């Protein structure tokens, strides 16, 4: 399937789930149409369930790492639903910011292009132009969009600026063994 240009290998990687303006709406529409025709489209219902459960699973990992989220500084990398756009419709970041704010986390947000759009819904949060500045004093870093700028970070410097070098990576940006050897507490999706 990864060789099919309509799908591509980038859509087959484990991660925090899909978002955007098209795919969630299309899946919902197919399920609705199937319901109207009297067909239980279990496969697509399972796709919807798995997409939501990926987010819930990552939230449980955050809770596991921090125990108590209230008043913890959490840096969030990636507000857009995918790299190369400022589109935040159905983006995983909307779910995580909402849930973490309910638990009274202190959020610091970075995205190279989607900040202005995100700020429309959350004007009172702290936004940063520099990812290292965003991670300064963070007790956990949550990666939600696989921007190339994240891969290019000086990881030694990132570890220095964080209060606790804990990363929950929803996009599998880094090799887990390498991150652990560098001294990070590193948790990702679909890998040990």
Specify the pTM: 0.88
Contacts of 94 (CB under 8 A, 6+ apart): 19, 88, 121
Q: Is the pLDDT of residue 153 over 70?
A: yes
Judge whether 87 and 49 are in contact, CB under 8 Å: no
**pLDDT tens track for 103-114:** 999 999 999 999
Q: Tokens representing 152?
A: 């290019």
Identify any residues that bridge with 75 across adjacent strands, giving them in sequence order: 108, 141
38 CB burial (10 A radius; 0-12, 13-18, 19+): exposed
pLDDT at 9 (0 to 100): 57
Q: Tokens representing 65?
A: 């790492």
Catalytic site positions: 22
Structural domains of the chain, ranges and CATH numbers in brackets: 54-188 (3.40.50.720)
Judge whether 192 and 180 are in contact, CB under 8 Å: no
The neighbour count for residue 106, using CB atoms within 10 Å, is 18
**pLDDT tens track for 49-76:** 877 878 899 999 999 999 999 999 999 9
Return contacts of 45-48, CB within 8 angstroms, 24+ apart.
Answer: none
CA distances from 179 to 106, 109, 117, 155 (A): 25, 22, 32, 9
């Amino acid at each position: 399937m990864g060789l099919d240009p309509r799908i591509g290998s980038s859509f087959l990687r484990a991660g925090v789930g899909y978002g955007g303006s098209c795919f969630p709406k299309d899946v919902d529409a197919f399920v609705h149409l199937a319901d109207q025709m009297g067909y239980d489209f279990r496969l697509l219902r399972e796709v919807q369930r798995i997409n939501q459960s990926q987010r819930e699973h990552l939230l449980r990992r955050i809770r596991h790492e921090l125990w108590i989220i209230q008043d913890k500084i959490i840096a969030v990398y990636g507000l857009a639903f995918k790299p190369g756009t400022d589109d935040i419709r159905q983006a995983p970041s909307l779910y995580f910011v909402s849930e973490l704010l309910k638990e009274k986390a202190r959020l610091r947000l970075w995205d190279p292009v989607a900040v202005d759009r995100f700020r429309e819904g959350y004007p009172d949060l702290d936004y940063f132009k520099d990812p290292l500045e965003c991670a300064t004093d963070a007790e956990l870093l949550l990666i939600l969009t696989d921007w190339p700028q994240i891969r290019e970070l000086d990881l030694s410097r990132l570890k220095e600026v964080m209060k606790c070098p804990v990363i929950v990576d929803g996009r599998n940006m880094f090799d887990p063994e390498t991150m652990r050897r560098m001294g990070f507490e590193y948790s990702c999706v679909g890998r040990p």
